[in-house]
Chains A and B, each alone.
Chain A
Amino acid sequence: MAEVPKNDEPTDATPNVSEVETVDAETPEEAVAAIEAPVERGEPILQVRNLVKHFPLTQGVIVKRQIGAVKAVDGISFDLYQGETLGIVGESGCGKSTVAKLLMTLEQATAGEVFYKGQDITKLSGRALKAVRRNIQMVFQDPYTSLNPRMTVGDIIGEPFEIHPEVAPKGSRRQKVQDLLDVVGLNPEYINRYPHQFSGGQRQRIGIARGLALNPEIIICDEPVSALDVSVQAQVINLMEKLQDEFNLSYLFIAHDLSIVRHISDRVGVMYLGKMAEIGSDEQIYDHPTHPYTQALLSAVPVPDPEAREGRERIILTGDVPSPANPPSGCRFRTRCWKAQDKCAQEVPLLAIPERFVDQDTPAAHESACHFAEEKDVVHAA
């Protein structure tokens, strides 16, 4: 076994997250009961604290020596509230999909905690974990590879019931699947068709129906519309918003398309190289960004309006994202940042409300991990 690497970096003094009320369940029954308990709208349902995932890099065939680690997620904290949509944006390789896998407990976290209704799911097992998994479901990116081509639509959507038979008794499953097809806007008569008989947008609807089958409370969407055509994208986004209202769902919406994230999200977190760079409400992030990376990212988005574009200032970053196996010291963005100074190489900036904005009542007062945080509107034309 490789030794678990210690995260020696200082942890964020995160005022954006609330106090975790942990539930100490002695027996599995108590744990399950706590998981089944309802959460009020606006209360935190999922609380992530200093989550870390390092993938070890090994050398040698028989005697494996660890020579380093890919620091895919390196200490992030955030809250997901009941009924809200939290968007996570970032470039490829910044760790957003690893976060999704950790929350689904598909990967074991190296360190840190994920509290679902006060219970740390990284330490759960058995019945309690199964109950959590029922309540956190996922919609995947590629509707072409995430559906088994040899199963009918009815089998695909009904498969979760095999694992959680308490949700739908055997006799009622077919009816339940047909209801789900109807909910996502597909003809219930398509129950015996195969995935290849559907278009991309329809397949994504099947994926969403499968996610909804167990009446979950949280749906984690990993790039759910990036493989779809523009005209179909809007249909799927509208469907997801409708379902959220109807079933009172909380979404964690991971995407690289900043326009779509703004449209669907209540709050947005920007990730860079395994760390959260900035987090706030959609207005705070898009209209009042204070982290240089967010500003660069926003200004690089092509705006479908030539006139608005010509009045905008563009920040073009040079180079690529550094390797997460060997991230830069101090602030991870400093190698591509135009504001970088000596301090940035030595001190890791913490995710906190920048000092200069602390006592001010402005939208710029939200958490940003930059030593030289400054407000700059890059989205609107000058």
Chain B
Amino acid sequence: MTIIDKPADVPAPRSGGEKSGRLLDVKDLHVEFHTRDGVVKAVNGVNYSVDAGETLAVLGESGSGKSVTAQAIMGILDMPPGKIPQGEIVFRGQDMLKMSNEERRKVRGRKIAMIFQDALSSLNPVLSVGYQLGEMFRVHEGMSRKQSKAKAVELMDRVKIPAAKERVNDYPHQFSGGMRQRIMIAMALALEPDLIIADEPTTALDVTVQAQVMDLLAELQREYNMGLILITHDLGVVADVADKIAVMYAGRIVETAPVHELYKRPAHPYTRGLLDSIPRLDQKGSELYAIKGLPPNLLKIPSGCAFNPRCPKAQDICRTEVPPLVPVTERDGTDLAGRGSACHFWKETIHG
């Protein structure tokens, strides 16, 4: 049946809960790839944290390093050519980069799980979805085939796949795009992890199906009080589900803010440009604002602020000094919780 939810019952508890606390802390993470053409600096000092029950959205264009950061957290980065020269990834007080492979395998899937963008290429086409879902239980919990299949049916029910019992032996190509994405979500949820990383979970889906999948994800997150890192380039999706946002550009975080604040008063020219460049559904403008130029080549990131060649506000200082991520305050100096901007001229950007 079609559900029409009225605005009145939309604001549901998003964060908070008994099992709260800091889950993940990424500190000064650097990732580089050594290629024939030189060193590609994909991530250049990223800091962020996620609490239980909280949704952090990482926003950025292709090549901004958002997915590479996620892969480093999951420990699925191809090394070599990838390399993590410095940084810490602290999960529940332990630095995962110092763990042995064996220890990391125990965390991966059980504590931190990932949902990938393209469900069709992430699922194995020659194995039934029931077998693939059950693999989590067989490998991590040592269940038998029969037990794991029963668990798989249970999971498919959880993510609202109709007729789960009959469909458990079907293959990925027999499912529609939205259903496949649900299977990916089911797989990530299997062992009830503390943290889920969703890398563009709805990009390949139609808008009506996208709304279904995002709703499901938000509902399950509330139920299990999980932390969620949502990686996306879609400013609309972020506005719907995130608690806080980190905007990435050329491997660095250029702005962090709670979701409402970011859309109301962006404190970085890049964020402002992004917001101005998307057409609106509820109004028709004449010409779109366009950020000039192209995203930088990661082989040779511009000196100083990486955004300076495209920035309308750029001055000499922007071309020489890398702006640190500084806390953003009100005009009178009062703190704005959770806000930061890596721009020399954040004051002018936010306060007009």
* 8 Å CB contact of A337 from B2, B10, B61, B176: B2
Of B10, B178, B264, which one neighbours A320 at CB under 8 angstroms? B178
Give the contacting residue for B263; candidates A238, A260, A304, A315; CB below 8 A.
A304
Given A259-B279, A311-B7, A314-B5, CB of A229 within 8 Å of CB of B240: no
Of the candidates A232, A259, A315, A336, which one forms a contact with B278 in the assembled complex, judged by CB atoms under 8 Å apart?
Answer: A259
* A150 interfacial by beta-carbon distance below 8 Å: no
B residues less than 8 Å from A314 (CB atoms): 4-5, 10, 211
**CB contact list, A296-320 vs B, under 8 A:** 296-298, 300-318, 320
Bound-state CA distance A126–B4 (Å) is 54
Rounded to whole Å, the gap between the CB of A370 and the closest CB of chain B is 15
Do the beta carbons of B211 and A304 come within 8 Å of each other? no
Q: Are the CB atoms of B2 and A301 closer together than 8 Å?
A: no
- Pick from B5, B178, B289, B294: contact of A234, CB below 8 A: B289
- CB-based contact B260/A302 at 8 Å: no
| A300 with B208: CB separation less than 8 A | yes
Minimal beta-carbon separation of B113 from chain A (angstroms): 24
Contact indicator B274/A231 (Cβ below 8 Å): yes
Contact of B3 with A316 in the complex, beta carbons under 8 Å: yes
Known: A230-B277, A309-B239. A318 touches B215 (CB 8 A): no
Q: How many Å lie between the Cα of A141 and that of B259 in the bound state? A: 32
Contact A231:B290 (CB < 8 A) given known A300-B207, A315-B4: yes
Report if B80 contacts A (CB, 8 A). Answer: no
Bin the interface of chain B by size.
35 or more
With A305-B239, A307-B260 as contacts: A263 and B284 at CB distance below 8 Å: yes
Nearest-neighbour CB distance to chain B for A86, whole angstroms, equals 15
Picked from B7, B179, B207, the residue with its CB within 8 Å of the CB of A312 is: B7
Does A233 lie at the interface of the complex (its beta carbon under 8 Å from any beta carbon of B)?
Answer: yes
Chain B positions 273-291 with a Cβ under 8 Å from a chain A Cβ: 273-275, 277-282, 284-285, 287-291
Tell whether B299 is near chain A: CB-to-CB under 8 Å: no
A338 and B239 contact, Cβ closer than 8 Å, known pairs A259-B278, A306-B260: no
Q: Would you call A315 and B2 a contact (CB within 8 A)?
A: yes
Q: Which of A91, A263, A338 contacts B208 (CB 8 A)?
A: A91
The reply to whether the CB of B103 lies closer than 8 angstroms to some CB of chain A is no
When the two chains form their complex, are residues A199 and B294 in contact, meaning their CB atoms are under 8 A apart? yes
Partner of A308, one of B234, B282, B294: B282
- Least CB distance from A48 to B in Å reads 24
B4 touches A313 (CB 8 A): yes
B295 CB to nearest chain A CB (Å): 7
B85 at the interface (CB under 8 A from A): no
- Contact yes or no, B237 A302, CB < 8 A: yes
In the assembled complex, A212 has its CB within 8 A of some CB on chain B = no
Complex CA distance for A313 and B4, rounded to whole angstroms: 7
List B contacts of A382 (CB < 8 A).
Answer: 7
> B178 contacts A303, CB within 8 Å?
no
A314 vs B11: C-alpha distance in the bound complex, in angstroms?
13
Report chain B residues within 8 Å CB of A282: 284
Interface status of A193 (Cβ within 8 A of chain B): no
Chain A 221-261, CB within 8 Å of chain B: the 1/0 string?
A: 00000000111111101100100000000000000101110
Cα separation A379 to B264 with both chains bound (whole Å): 19
The CA of A233 and the CA of B233, in the complex, are separated in Å by: 12
Chain A: CB-nearest residue to B270: A231
Asked if A316 and B211 sit within 8 Å, CB to CB, the answer is yes
| Chain A contacts for B178, CB-based, 8 A | 320
Closest CB-CB distance, B198 to chain A, in whole Å? 15
| Residues A303 and B61 in contact in the complex (CB < 8 Å), given A258-B281, A298-B281 | no
B6 nearest CB neighbor, chain A only: A313
Whether B314 sits at the interface, judged by CB under 8 Å, is: no
- The distance in angstroms between the C-alpha atoms of A317 and B1, with both chains bound, is 8
- Chain A: which residue is nearest B287 at the CB level? A238
How far is A256 from B208 in the complex, measured between Cα atoms in Å?
11
B236 x A297 contact (CB < 8 A):
no
The answer, yes or no, to whether A59 is at the interface (CB within 8 Å) is no
A residues 114-162 touching B (CB-CB < 8 Å)? none
Closest to A258 in B: B281
Q: Answer yes or no: A207 CB below 8 A from chain B CBs.
A: no
User: CB distance A263 to B279 under 8 Å?
Assistant: yes
1/0 per residue, CB under 8 A from B, across A7-37: the answer is 0000000000000000000000000000000
B179 CB contacts on chain A under 8 angstroms: 320
Cross-chain contact A304 with B275 (CB below 8 angstroms): yes
B62 at the interface (CB under 8 A from A): yes
Contact of B240 with A320 in the complex, beta carbons under 8 Å: no
Chain A residues near B239 (CB, 8 Å)?
A: 302-306, 309
Q: Say yes or no: A262 contacts B277, CB within 8 Å.
A: no
Q: Is the CB of A231 within 8 A of B277?
A: yes
Q: Considering the chains assembled together, what is the distance between the CA atoms of A202 and B260 in angstroms?
A: 34
Residues on A with beta carbons closer than 8 Å to the beta carbon of B18: none
Contact of A201 among B4, B11, B294 (CB under 8 A): B294
Q: Chain A residues near B211 (CB, 8 Å)?
A: 300, 302, 314, 316-317
Q: Using a CB–CB distance below 8 Å, which chain A residues touch chain B?
A: 91-92, 199, 201-202, 229-235, 237-238, 241, 256, 258-260, 262-264, 282-283, 286, 296-298, 300-318, 320-321, 336-338, 379-380, 382
- List 7 contacting pairs A-B, 8 Å CB cutoff, sorted by A: A230-B234, A263-B284, A286-B282, A303-B236, A304-B236, A317-B211, A320-B176
Contacts A234-B289, A237-B279, A296-B208 known; list 10 others, CB within 8 Å: A92-B177, A199-B294, A231-B295, A235-B291, A304-B275, A313-B6, A314-B5, A314-B10, A317-B211, A338-B4
Q: Which residues of B contact A (CB under 8 A)?
A: 1-7, 10-11, 61-62, 176-179, 206-212, 214-215, 233-240, 259-260, 263-264, 273-275, 277-282, 284-285, 287-292, 294-295
